[in-house]
Structure 1
Amino acid sequence: MTSPKPLIYAELLPNIRQISVLAALPTPSDATTRVSLSADRAVLTLVHNGATASLQLPGAIAPAYTPTQPHSTLAQLSWRIPLVASPSQPRAAPSLPAPWSAGALANTSSFFCRGCRGVILPSGRVTTWRDLPSENWAEMMEFWHCHKPDVPVGEKGEEEGGDNTMKGYGANTRMMAQKGVGKVDLTYFLLDSEDCSGLESGIKKAACQLNASVARSPIQMPQSDSSTPFQDGECTLSNREWVTLPSGFSGFSMGEYLGLDEEHNSYLPTSRPQPSAISSEPLFHKQTNPLQTSPSSLALSCASCAAQIGASTPAGYQLYKWSLSLTALLTTSTSSPTTQLAPTSPPLPHFLLPQLQAQSSALGVSKFIIRPPPPPADAEGQSNTDAEVGVYVWLFAPSLTVSFSSLSSLSSNSPPSTPLHDSPPPALPASKLLFRPAPPRDEATAILDAPNSAVEEVRLPASVVRAFTTLLQESNARLPEGARAFAGGWDVGILEVWDGGEGGV
């Protein structure tokens, strides 16, 4: 029977010019336990009871260093290895890139549902891609406007009035989708509904449920297009279609039936004009990301597999990057116009960790409660399990370089590494997060609303919160036992981040 291999983890500590190495042995160390360095001093090898584990060191070490041999009867081993001497350089604040920025996309880019490969954004629908500004840009612009030097009264123009919505910025403004233009955030795309395909919105599903429940009631409202009569069980609903209503109909609107505000939802049938560029609806409601923050947002699902793709909001369609796969047409002269690259599907942390780091830098916080948005007040049968889903995260070190002796990848969405001539896996860019279950909803709300709270809220779909929590737990299990916990009841998670290479594009 083969002996279990030792588990080794290394972390680069540039501030103190060292590499921290931790190892866990399946049994206490004995005379068979030995540690050594490769000839090029780049690989550390640990042998115990006939089993060997190797680790690629995440930095160049001092040429005179020799590792100390472990003492006997120890199951947890550690080393501090000095780095090679080099001139000190000022370190810039870490900034994590996210895949699929506007500069990496083209009018040939198309997106598919990650679950079933159904087309969500056909090639050519979006001709221009633009990066969205920071989520706090409106507040910063309004702060600047309020504190800029006073202009004499006689020299003020109309734009100097007090209405921030007329200036085009302010805390009560938001970006709106434009046809043919893809607006890119760290975690989502903001697109016009007409540019997308293969999606079902919550209003369509609700209309189907309403029609199915009263399909043969005495009262029916005709469609605006009388040439296509409404069929029992039909699930197509455009901006001007009507649905079958119950016999006790007393004049409520579709928005009232769905618990939505018709005035603030551009996808409900209405004759009110909708803003074309900027909306005055408040964007921020204490939580730090705009996903699913509007009370009038509706879930967008794949029409083929029902996977949640994004949300339909008054600003447009927000499509979650982690729900999509990218396929870009080849543009080289030697390739056929119909040849396509394989879709790339970066894992969830490649999008979510840059979002957390950006919010940490902008707001001066490092702790987040990640949970789903609260269910609507009239949502009967809402899953109590979904309501209590959540994880409390401390972004302890956004940018690290780490190494593992295990050949399994950090993300369950990534393919497992394949050994090449028995060489250990390379060092990886990563973030260190401390995590624990989120407190109950009422207690979490009290923490967030405290006057001196240093905790922010991030709202994500329950399925995404569960997936992120699972990734944290899996990464914790890959660490040596002595590195899995932190003081104060926190568990330690190490998640790989995107390094800006082609793999994420």
Structure 2
Amino acid sequence: MAQSSCLIYAELLSNIRQISVLAVLETPCNTSTKANLSDDGQQFMLLHNGRLQKLYLPGKSLSTFRLQLPILGSKELSWRLPWAAEATDVSRYDSHLSDVPWSAKSMGTHTELSCRICNETILEKGTIKTWKDLPSDDWAEMMDFWHCHKPDDHKNSKDSIKHTNSSGLSKCNNCLVERAYGANSKISAQSGVGFVDITTFLFRKEDCSKIQIEKLGYYDLDFLGIKFYKWRLQYTNPLTPNSLSSSASPPGFTLISSSSKKNNDARLPASIFVMSRIISQMASHLVTKFLLTPTSLPNCKTKILLWIFGASLRFSSSRFNVPSVSRSSPPYGQPAIKVFWKLVSGNDANSIRDNIGIEEVFIPSYVISEIEDALTSSSVLLPACSQKYQEWNVGLLERYEE
């Protein structure tokens, strides 16, 4: 049958174990309009005016579930389907929230980093012998607090320590110091060591070559090394030999399907790294609103206020084609983050900063522009009725999963 141009959008609501489906028709619903599930419960099928459209659901539903009849005369139809998932599926989806792109464990001695714009190599293979994940900013704040409020080392305390497992404590402390995370140590760039946080790499200047720091990152005086923005680089790794993409990701909504993710990890868009950082801050600070502010131009008018509405979302849309992982394994939706967002002016931003429960995130202005473009572009995947919420725009941003 001919393919219909109506929009079908589905979201997996894992917290209530349901799949929400919205359909927007070009013409009003009539007696010929019918909705069904495939025999395996993996596809939603909509028949309207003799045209059939199918959509892979972001989760498997019960094939025996009877869908309610569409409302005649309406152009917007909706259904709630039960999610046929085991408890392990729920925990597996939630576990991906802590996934971080380009972490230390994904790097190796043969990792090579190059500029994403000119392809010039800035870190040769074999230069870095050891890769370490940097602790979060919260860890650094905690250590500063500990030093300021460190208890006095009284004699009684020393005596009590003698009766503890001193060898175990010594081993633990040595491990922390070796990783440069000891309370009495200061983390700084080291030759042959690559430090990794959510959005940057930290290297000694001597380990790098052919670099223009202002184009790729900045020199950090606190860490005595160069911090490179991950989104300015691309990498090759023998573990993923085809990781280097032939062209850079456009600054739009560029969700990566599971089948091609390994081939595109070398050029992830900036929004993925920023949103991974925001998800981390959501967990540590227990907030859902973030003000994106330019690092170099704090008075710039381009500031975005984000309200994270769904951090563990999986969706599928008839306007976004995702190829199957294999012929026998259809995709179960795309991992994403649902975001309510709006642009704010300088005066509004000043008042927003004073609000409790809003975290300010400083990133380069061009990254803010890319995120705005991605959010704007993503609206085409959503039904018109879901593109606004009061004074907020609604969009989707890509979420990283390993």
Scaled to the shorter chain, the TM-score interval is 0.7 to 0.9
Aligned-residue RMSD, C-alpha: 3.2
Match of 2:345 in 1: 440
Q: Which has the higher helix share?
A: 2
Alignment partner of 1:35 is 2:35: yes
| Superposition deviation, residue 312 in structure 1 | 2.0
Match of 2:8 in 1: 8
Aligned residue type for 1:364: L
| Superposition deviation, residue 20 in structure 1 | 0.7
Kept in 2: contact 1:63–1:84 (CA 8 A): no
Alignment partner of 1:310 is 2:250: no
Q: For the residues of structure 1 that align with 2:40 and 2:354, how far apart are their CA atoms?
A: 54
Q: For the residues of structure 1 that align with 2:83 and 2:128, how far apart are their CA atoms?
A: 48
Kept in 2: contact 1:4–1:26 (CA 8 A): no
| Superposition deviation, residue 192 in structure 1 | 1.2
| Superposition deviation, residue 134 in structure 1 | 1.2
Q: Match of 1:362, SS?
A: helix
1:203-253: CA deviations, max 9, x gaps?
xxxxxxxxxxxxxxxxxxxxxxxxxxxxxxxxxxxxxxxxxxxxxxxxxxx
Q: 2:271 aligns with which of 322, 346, 349?
A: 349
Match of 2:211 in 1: 199
Alignment partner of 1:372 is 2:291: no
Q: For the residues of structure 2 that align with 1:46 and 1:365, how far apart are their CA atoms?
A: 39
| Superposition deviation, residue 468 in structure 1 | 0.9
Match of 2:84 in 1: 84
Match of 2:162 in 1: none
Aligned residue type for 1:369: L
Kept in 2: contact 1:98–1:498 (CA 8 A): yes
1:236-273: CA deviations, max 9, x gaps?
xxxxxxxxxxxxxxxxxxxxxxxxxxxxxxxxxxxxxx
Q: List aligned pairs for 1:93-492, cutoff 5 A.
A: 95-144=97-146, 151-152=153-154, 169=183, 175-201=187-213, 300-301=214-215, 309-314=216-221, 315=223, 316-329=225-238, 342-343=244-245, 344-375=266-297, 387-408=300-321, 417=323, 426-437=332-343, 439-450=344-355, 453-486=356-389, 488-492=390-394
Q: 1:497 aligns with which of 377, 399, 402?
A: 399
| Superposition deviation, residue 449 in structure 1 | 3.0
Q: Match of 2:316, SS?
A: strand
TM-score after normalising by structure 1:
0.63
Change (3 A) 1:313 1:59: same
Q: Match of 2:351, SS?
A: helix
Kept in 1: contact 2:320–2:381 (CA 8 A): no
Q: List aligned pairs for 1:9-88, cutoff 5 A.
A: 9-84=9-84
Q: For the residues of structure 1 that align with 2:142 and 2:48, how far apart are their CA atoms?
A: 58
Match of 1:268 in 2: none
Change (3 A) 1:45 1:137: same
Q: For the residues of structure 2 that align with 1:147 and 1:89, how far apart are their CA atoms?
A: 44
Which shifted more, 181-190 or 25-34?
Answer: 25-34
1:4-43: CA deviations, max 9, x gaps?
6111111112222211111111222234422222121210
1:125-174: CA deviations, max 9, x gaps?
21111000011102223445666765426878xxxxxxxxxx9659xx96
Q: For the residues of structure 2 that align with 1:420 and 1:50, how far apart are their CA atoms?
A: 30
Q: For the residues of structure 1 that align with 2:358 and 2:67, how far apart are their CA atoms?
A: 41
Q: For the residues of structure 2 that align with 1:454 and 1:100, how far apart are their CA atoms?
A: 29
Which shifted more, 341-350 or 178-187?
Answer: 341-350
1:81-110: CA deviations, max 9, x gaps?
123375699856873312211111111101
| Superposition deviation, residue 116 in structure 1 | 2.3
Change (3 A) 1:89 1:120: closer
Q: For the residues of structure 1 that align with 2:324 and 2:105, how far apart are their CA atoms?
A: 32
Q: Match of 1:16, SS?
A: coil
Structure with greater Cα Rg: 1
Change (3 A) 1:130 1:168: closer
Structure 2's unaligned 5+ residue stretches are 159-180, 246-265
Change (3 A) 1:141 1:53: same
Q: For the residues of structure 2 that align with 1:148 and 1:475, how far apart are their CA atoms?
A: 49
Kept in 2: contact 1:10–1:404 (CA 8 A): yes
Kept in 1: contact 2:59–2:83 (CA 8 A): yes
- How many residue pairs get aligned? The number is 355
Change (3 A) 1:143 1:200: closer
Match of 1:241 in 2: none
Structure 1's unaligned 5+ residue stretches are 157-166, 202-299, 302-308, 332-338, 377-383, 410-416, 501-505
Change (3 A) 1:142 1:123: same
Change (3 A) 1:33 1:154: closer
